[in-house]
Amino acid sequence: MDSKERLAIPPHPMPEQDPAERVDNVREVPLGYTAETAIAEATRCLQCKTPFCVDGCPVNIDIPGFVQAVEDGDFKKGIRILKKDNLLPAICGRVCPQETQCQLECTVGKARKDQTKSVMIGKLERFLADWEREQGEFEVPRMPPSSGKKVAVIGAGPAGLTLAGDLVRMGHDVTVFEAFHKAGGVLVYGIPEFRLPKSIVQTEVDYLEKLGVEFRYNHVVGKTLTMEKLVEDYDAVFVGTGAGLPKFMRIPGQNLLGVFSANEYLTRANLMKAYEFPRSDTPIFRARKVMTVGGGNVAMDCARTALRLGAQDSLVVYRRSEKEMPARVEEIEHAREEGVQMHLLNNPVRILGDENDWVMGAEIVRMKLGEPDASGRRRPIPIEGSEYVLDVDAVIVAIGNSPNPLIPDTFPDLEVTRWGGIVTNEVTGQTSVRGIFAGGDIVLGAATVILAMSHGRRAAKAIHIYLKTGRWSDLEEAVAVEINQSQTSS
Amino acid sequence: MHRILSKERLGPEINRYVIEAPQISRRRKPGQFVIIRLCPEGERIPLTIADADPEEGTLTLVVQAVGKTTWQLADMEEGDEIIDVTGPLGRPTHIERYGTVLCVGGGIGVAPLYPITSALKDAGNEIVCIIGARSADLLIMEKEMESVSDHMLVTTDDGSYGMHGMVTDGIKRIVVEEGRKADFAVAIGPPVMMKFTCLLTGELEIPTMVSLNPIMIDGTGMCGGCRVSVGGKTKFACVDGPEFDGHQVDFDELMKRLSAYRTHEKEAMDRYSECRAETGGGGR
């Protein structure tokens, strides 16, 4: 088939659960490709000589390689290529913002002058990962001999899991310390079941265990054991403790009953399975009319979770316009299809309570956009006199988190930024303390799963070289040399 | 897994558990708490640590059965295992030599008060202890408290033991009537007791520290469910506390927030009671 014919094939949408049906269950929304559809979608790839898609991927997956394998129907080979660069494809295939990464760079999309018509790289990635899981057999790669070096990983979220997988495959002895009773971090407490089934995360964690990674649950580093102890007992330490304290709005009424942080609402619903209450013990407030404040993926997750918990109305209030919303287009679309109402260019100024201090409404002011601010987005400005009252009985605040202060607080040697994030070398993830590395939201503030994974990947490379050579002050150069060598040899 | 090594009844529905938790017992300081979870579908609840033995690797928890999870714990026996115990969480109590310290405990609050009192005593303070309960049978750890106190007064609401009245009446007797000077106070108990104790110590100008136990999920600052207003600012009890200046705490808000899931709690409890009745108790 020539390029012209390939270009003529339209993209294959992934079938989805009907919106009216899915708001009553927590099952996954996109249903997955069949083998035939996957092959047909893979056929759209032009196998570009210079694959820009790979540059768009934070972990530089060999995208043309695995897509070709799908086209050939050799799924086993496809998953092998995929897992070379990404140990957690079932997760990334679902939650990565492909439309702003690999698919944004895709030549097919560019040729069609519409990046929504790019090769559906993320959906193919998900297909391969699901295919492997359904086979029930995971190929365990040949493991190198043990290096005799021990690495402690703090936090079993996307950064920590990626790093653990990489380091264990380089022959190091890896122990992951997790504060919760389950591994996954934001993948299990934050991202809802209907977007990322918990069983998929568990399968990936089981796979890491099979490779030899040891998990210690209910271990809060800084409390249950100290950083000093880890530094003493391990050859290197990676801090991936993620975003910590939820931000609130500092408006009157924020402590009324029925006002939740997104973290609390989602943790109750996801990790603690409150949607099964009273079969599970953790309750959640089943509101009639829920207002979620914020415009990111987390806000969409909250608004959609509220519907599944029986809310008749679920509103998103966001202070800028749709163009500035940080949420993925797909998430906004899914939310709209399910009936979430978007109140854009609106901002709450006060939450109103009834005589028992339960939320009974919110006073909202309309906004307009002014000049761009430091973030490059146009600054929202309140329109005086435009206040009105929304009748709601629960408010979820999804405006972000600040980095978790537990480790910096108990280990003051670590240099932190004004915002409380750990200061690191961008290439290596090195912190101000020898032997300690960091990555993910504890460094970035609040970012994406794949960015956290890319931090984990980079830090793993650096830790590997550090353990091998003991170099610290010039570790960045050593990493650069190693990367160049591996590129010229391959 | 954390085995229950001993279970001892202290009063109606009040038990003292000694559980295996070697790492936590070595790290724990007075004033800190743990979060426990009993079963795979279980909720996470915070419990203040009553004592610890680092050599034996054990923690002591004193728990009154009031809801589903605490009843389920009450139905567990020696040798049973608790699946998750996380901690020690929260900031430890600030211990210093104040002079004379009033240690005021109400109901089950006497349990977490004990290690703090003991540490204050070790720091050279004169301890005046006032503990109270609704009735004699609900009074716990009197002997233990006596062993770390220089002066002791027991009150019961119904007059069935000790002085007839509330702990606030006890404070009045000691500070106002007997004219004993107090430099500092620690009050732990039901929020309403802490509220009135703080109102009184505020009038008497005795700086007072309280230990709060709001609803929590993770206990590491992540969920924000445990937020309390202290001096008009929002604090997270799990990472900023659990101890705060009692004269700054908005107790009315705390009590309301504690009641947020009351109907759910009742539903879960009713369901558990049915299940207990069917299995003849101990229905897990």
The CATH code for residues A150-244+402-489 is 3.50.50.60
Which residues on chain B are in Cβ contact (under 8 Å) with A156? none
pLDDT confidence tier of residue A140, bands split at 50, 70 and 90? confident
Give residue-wise pLDDT tens across range A351-372.
Answer: 999 999 999 999 999 999 999 8
Beta pairing partners, B36: B45, B85
pLDDT at A230: 96
Between residues 104 and 123 of chain A, which touch chain B (CB distance below 8 Å)?
none
Residue B168 has φ and ψ, to the nearest 5°, of -65, -35
Closest CA to B254 of B276, B283, B234, B277: B234
- The correct answer on CATH 1.10.1060.10 for the domain covering A3-135 is yes
Nearest-angstrom CA–CA distance, A47 and A106: 10
Q: Which residue of B has its CA nearest to A359?
A: B260
Tabulate helix, strand, coil % of chain A (nearest 5): 40, 20, 40
In sequence order, the 6+-apart residues with CB closer than 8 A to the CB of A69 are: A75, A77, A78, A81
Q: Which residue of A has its CA nearest to B220?
A: A406
Nearest-angstrom CA–CA distance, A152 and A216: 10
Tell me which residues of chain B have a pLDDT lower than 70.
Answer: 280-284
CB A320 within 8 A of CB A367: yes
Give residue-wise pLDDT tens across range A453-476.
Answer: 989 989 999 999 999 999 999 999
For chain A, give the mean pLDDT: 92
Which residues on chain A are in Cβ contact (under 8 Å) with B54? none
Is the omega angle on the peptide bond into residue A89 within 30 degrees of 0, that is, cis? no
Lowest mean pLDDT among A9-18, A176-185, B200-209, B266-275: B266-275
User: Using CB atoms within 10 A of its CB, is residue A40 exposed (0-12), middle (13-18) or buried (19+)?
Assistant: middle
| Residue B187, both tokens | 């009050």
Query: What is the 8-class DSSP label of residue B91?
Result: P
Q: Tell me the pairing of strands A236-239 and A436-438.
A: parallel
Which residues on chain B are in Cβ contact (under 8 Å) with A405? 221, 239
Give residue-wise pLDDT tens across range A121-139.
Answer: 999 999 999 999 998 877 7
Domains and CATH numbers, chain B: 2-90+262-279 (2.40.30.10), 93-204 (3.40.50.80)
In sequence order, the 6+-apart residues with CB closer than 8 A to the CB of B206 are: B102, B175, B182, B183, B184, B185
Average pLDDT value for residue range A139-156: 91
The pTM is what? 0.91
Record: fold of A250-399: FAD/NAD(P)-binding domain (3.50.50)
pLDDT at A271: 87
| Cross-chain Cβ contact B43/A245 below 8 Å | no
Nearest-angstrom CA–CA distance, A453 and A440: 7
Q: At what angle do helices A158-169 and A198-211 cross, to 10 degrees?
A: 30
* Identity of the residue in A244, A255, A277 whose CB atom sits nearest the CB atom of B253: A255
* Boundaries of every domain in chain A: 3-135, 150-244+402-489, 250-399
pLDDT confidence tier of residue A488, bands split at 50, 70 and 90? low
Nearest-angstrom CA–CA distance, B91 and A290: 35
Residue A305 Rama label (left phi>0; alpha psi -120 to 50; beta): alpha
Q: Tell me the pairing of strands B100-106 and B184-188.
A: parallel
| Cross-chain Cβ contact A261/B88 below 8 Å | no
Q: Is there a shared CATH topology between the A3-135 domain and the A250-399 domain?
A: no
Average pLDDT value for residue range A309-334: 94
Q: Which of B35, B223, B234 to mutate to test the interface with A (most CBs of A within 10 A)?
A: B223
CB A362 within 8 A of CB A291: yes
Q: Which residue of A has its CA nearest to B250?
A: A255
Give residue-wise pLDDT tens across range B42-70.
Answer: 999 999 999 999 999 999 999 999 888 99
| Residue A258, both tokens | 């029925």
| Cross-chain Cβ contact A278/B265 below 8 Å | no
pLDDT at A486: 67
Helix H or strand E segment including A444:
helix A441-444
Q: How far is B135 from chain A (nearest CA, A)?
A: 30
Beta pairing partners, A221: A225
Q: What is the ipTM metric for this complex?
A: 0.89
CB A361 within 8 A of CB A391: yes
pLDDT confidence tier of residue A377, bands split at 50, 70 and 90? confident
| Residue A29, both tokens | 């929304």
- The CA dihedral of A43, A46, A47, A51, to the nearest 10 degrees, is -130
Q: Counting runs of H as helices and runs of E as strands, what totals does chain A give?
A: 21, 16
pLDDT at A376: 81
CB B163 within 8 A of CB B153: yes
pLDDT at A487: 62
| Ranges assigned E (strand) in A203-298 | 214-216, 236-239, 243-246, 259-261, 289-293
Which residues on chain A are in Cβ contact (under 8 Å) with B69? 281
Which residues on chain A are in Cβ contact (under 8 Å) with B265? 283
